[in-house]
Structures are given as C-alpha cells and as structure tokens.
Amino acid sequence: MLPLGVYRITEEVRAFFEDRLGPFNNYVNYPNASKAKVAKICSAACSALVADNNADDDRRSHLTDATIVWPLWFPTRIRFHVHDMPSEAGWGPGRHAVVWVVGSNNLIQVKVVHVEPDSPARRLDVTAEAFRWSNLALQRAFTAHGRDIGIGHIAGICVRLVKASAASDPVYELVSLSSMYDNLQAGSIGHQVIDLVFSRPRPDANQPLRLRDPPNLPQVDWTFSVQQQMIVLIPDQREAVRLGCSSMPIVGVQVAFGTGKTLIGSLIAALSSDTPNTTVIVTTCTNAAVDQFTDTPDFSHLRVVRHISDSAAAENRTPTDADLSKILKTLGDTFYNQLDFDERVVCADFRDHRQLLEDYLAHHKRVPEMSDGEREQFEIAEEYVSTTLRRMIRIIFKVYRPSVICMTTASLLNSTASRTGIFTLYIPSFRTIIGDEGSQIPEPALLAIAARFQVARHIYNGDEHQLAPHAKCPHASNPVLHGARGVMTTLSHAPGVPVAPLVTTFRAHPTLIEIPNTIAYSGTLVSGTLAEARTLLLNSRIRFPSPGVPFTFIHMEDTSVQAISKSHYNTVEGTV
C-alpha cells in the first residue's frame, strides 16, 4: 500500500514540534487547537512506529508443499517450508498467515505456532495451526485438492504472512486508529491529567504542596508486616506514599533500582482501594507485584485479581491464586449462597468447560490423542468460555468486586477498547490507575488511558534513566520523540506534575551503586544497607570452603527447564 501523498514538514509544524517537546506554550495559549494537533501527531507517530516495526516483515507469497501434521491435532496443524529466507523476517509464533490451497476457492487464515530456522539452507520450517472457525475449511481443502500419503494429506499451497494484529502491539496500533479526545469531558480528571502533562501549571501552583498521611494507615504508623518481617518506611518512601495517596490528578514516583518500588506501589494501591465500589488498576502482571499484597497481612483483606491472557499464562508457568481464571472457576462454590439458580448453573458450566481448556493448555501435546468426541467437546468448551466470559465478569463484580486488578497496559487497553470489552462496563469504577515501570509506557498510552478513564487518578513509578520503550526508528526521529517517549521522561519535564524521588537503595553493598550514581543520578543515591547487615551471611551457620570468602557453588540435582524466552531455569534452586 502506497501513501496518497508525501509532504515535507513546514516550518510552522516544525516549530510546533519543538515547542511540544519543550515548554509547550502553544498548549498554554491555545489548548483546544493544540490538543487536536497532538492527537494527529500521536496518531501519525504511532502509525510510523507500527510500520517501522513491520518494515522487515516478509511480504512475498510463497508457493510450497504443506503436509497435515500427524497424529491429527485440533485445530488442524500443517507443516511447510519457506525458502530463500536468511532470517525469520516476521515469521514467528503468534503471527497470522493466509493460505490458499492450490485448486480451492477459499483463502484460509492460520496462526504460526513454531518456526525452526535452517540458516545453511536459507529456509524456515514452519508449523501453523488453523483457527477454530477455519479448521473445517482447511481440512476440506486438503482432502479435496491434496494427495493422501497414508498418514494425512499433502497439498500445494500459496502462503503469505499477514499484518500483525492490533492485539499483538496494542499501544501504538490502537492509538493510531483512535480519536483520543473526541469524548474528553472538560473539567474531568482525565482532562486535568492531560493539562498537567502538557505543561499547564496547577491551579494552586503558587501554594506549596501539602501532603497528609493517608487516613487508613495501619495502627502503627508507617510500619507494615511483610513476609513475617516488620518493615518501617524511611522518609523518602513515606513521601512517595503520601504523594501517591493524595488528591492530585497525576503524580510520579522516580525510583532507582533497589529502592522498594514494588512495595511502595503496592502500598499506594492498597491504601487507595479502601473506597467502596471502586477498583484500583495496577498495570503489571508480574508475580512480585501480586505477591506483595498477599505477603502483607495489613492488606490481606484486599480482593486482588490478576488478569493475563491464556498465552501469557501458558508462558508464565507460575500461576497465582489471584489469577482471574482461578477465581472464576471457584466462584460458584465460594459464593453459592449469594447466587441465584441461573448464576449457579452458569458458574458450574463455566468451571467445567474452563477446566477442559486449561488441561489442553497444560498438556497440549496430548491433543493428537484426542478422539473425535473429545475434539467436539473441546470445541464446545472453547466457544462456551468465550461467549460466557462477560457474564462471569458481571457475576464477579456482583459478589467479589475486586479491590485491585493487575494487568498489563496492553490488556487494559484491549479489555476496554469496545463495548464488548470485558471491563468496559466498569470504567466509571476505576478511580486510580498505577503504572508500574513507567519508563516503559509510551506517552501516547498515558494520553489514551487518561481520555478513556476520565474519573481516574494516575500514579506512575519508574526510572527515567532506564531504557525507553523499544523502537526501531532512530532515537532523534519524530516518530520516536512524539510516539515512544517514556512516561517518566514526560512527567519529569512537566512542571505541573509533582514527582517524588526514591533515592535510598537497599543493595547488598554500597559499592554496587557507585557507577550508576556517578553516571546517571548525579550522586543523589544513598545506600540504606547498614554495615552490620552486610555480615549476616558471614555470621550465619553456612560454612564456606574458604573462610571469610562468602562464595560457593551448590550442585542441584534437578534439571533445568527452557522457558519461552529460550533462557533456562531450575525450580529447585528457589528452595535452597
């Protein structure tokens, strides 16, 4: 696809670009016109980033032979070779492709599940899987136009990689397609957030910011029990919690590694979730953030839910009791007396069908052994879970309204992107959004979230000195400057947004912070690890081969497991 026209940026537009990256006086003087321009700039920048990310994708149509994988999978899998490929060029698990079986009348969509590169032969060995709705069409095409080889069919196909879906890169794709400010209400919190981000001063900027202790602190001020240890927050951590729990529309917490970022973010989320009928959104899916709530007895009463996709759950390998799928399966039994008859039936059916799907995800290699009846049951289960999920979400908000929902920024945008999104109905109850790892969240995502969640306050914690969101474009190019700046960089240059610095690090030894302290933090980092705490290992009962040298190798009997990221880990190591 070629553009209808290409134009050189005018001097007026170039001046607007420079002003937007600086004081943004245009927004202060002409807010409405500037907002419209920024929406177009973000859309164009995100479109350019999406196009650049896909620039190296293979755009050729490949004529090759394909065989149906045997034993037969469900949905049907095919295996074929893509020749003259010195690199993957976009062919990877999760990508979609379109297949034409030679002689047939239909184009069939499939999903790539495995790619094995053969560099010497400049070839890719690809395994692709039909979708549930395209499975029958693929089978019929191979049966009608292929050749039976005894263990399945072989057929000539023409295959082509298709554009990555919005769900795979939702931030840039969704921002580029949306009209961010069409429904933005003047005077809303979301409108105030955008004003402050775009360098407009606070209404009370001439008055000092007065922060008070949150009213729902535990009985002993600033002391929390975490993993059976009493933790007392130090002054800079207290200021960060006070700022995060204030009434400011948007705040930032500038954190360095080892300053207790996860703990502080969890405390802010917990203290902000005590208001009835409100839910705090934490944009993270790591187990550490979820475990922080369950490991803190002061907040063990909170209803924490983690929402991740099935594919991410399969890769994660370490589910938690807070996972949405686990809670939904036990919903009918746990809240039996609070449900009516129809809801009990729905919960029971959902539990059974969901369990069948999870058995497939956990033991997908057993799929070829499924009988025709079992495959039909699996297809029914997949359809039932998909169509019933929104009703199950309504039930959970009725009997077990979450205090905190943990999800990725991608899931937050996808699950509220349309009327059929599973959390769209509950947008008015999302009053606080906490962005973990704010340096990795692009600025357009902040603007899109603020325009969509107009009653929500924003708290972002992260380190502006860390790497910005990944982009293939040159760092000084307009798409990166206007579409891939990290939120923490944006907030640090917005005079109207208060930012609390966390500078006290708790590393194993003070010398570990010397290099980053000199290079990035201008000497502001302080070590909070006491001298006597650094000798705990030497004073323990552990005996080292060389006395006085706290270092040894420990042999582990278990075997390592390769993760999706190709790295290896040993589950037994965590027990030592």
Going by C-alpha positions, the residue among 483, 567, 16, 496 that lies closest to residue 248 is: 496
pLDDT value at residue 95: 87
Report which DSSP code applies to 1: -
- Give the pLDDT band of residue 167 (cuts 50, 70, 90): very low
Going by C-alpha positions, the residue among 235, 238, 237, 249 that lies closest to residue 212 is: 238
378-401 tens-digit pLDDT: 788 888 888 898 999 999 999 989
Q: How many residues does the chain have?
A: 576
pTM equals: 0.81
CA 222 – CA 210 distance, rounded (Å): 18
**Mean pLDDT for the stretch of residues 91-119:** 89
- Give the pLDDT band of residue 286 (cuts 50, 70, 90): low
CB contact set of 83 (below 8 Å; sequence gap of 6+): 62, 64, 122, 123
CA distances 208 to 142, 239, 498, Å, are 73, 14, 11
pLDDT value at residue 369: 65
- Give the pLDDT band of residue 97 (cuts 50, 70, 90): very high
Q: At 221, list the tokens.
A: 């001020």
Confidence check: pLDDT of 191 > 70: yes
Confidence check: pLDDT of 98 > 90: yes
Confidence check: pLDDT of 205 > 60: no
Q: At 499, list the tokens.
A: 């930012």
Q: Which of 83-92, 281-290, 489-498, 507-516 has the lowest mean pLDDT?
A: 281-290
pLDDT value at residue 38: 85
Mean of per-residue pLDDT scores for the chain: 81
Q: Which of 54-68, 235-249, 261-275, 530-544 has the lowest mean pLDDT?
A: 530-544
Q: List domains and CATH numbers for the chain.
A: 61-162 (2.40.30)
CA distances 115 to 95, 124, 128, 432, Å, are 11, 7, 9, 41
Q: Which of 31-40, 97-106, 419-428, 524-533 has the lowest mean pLDDT?
A: 524-533
**Mean pLDDT for the stretch of residues 72-86:** 86
**Mean pLDDT for the stretch of residues 34-62:** 82
Confidence check: pLDDT of 524 > 70: yes
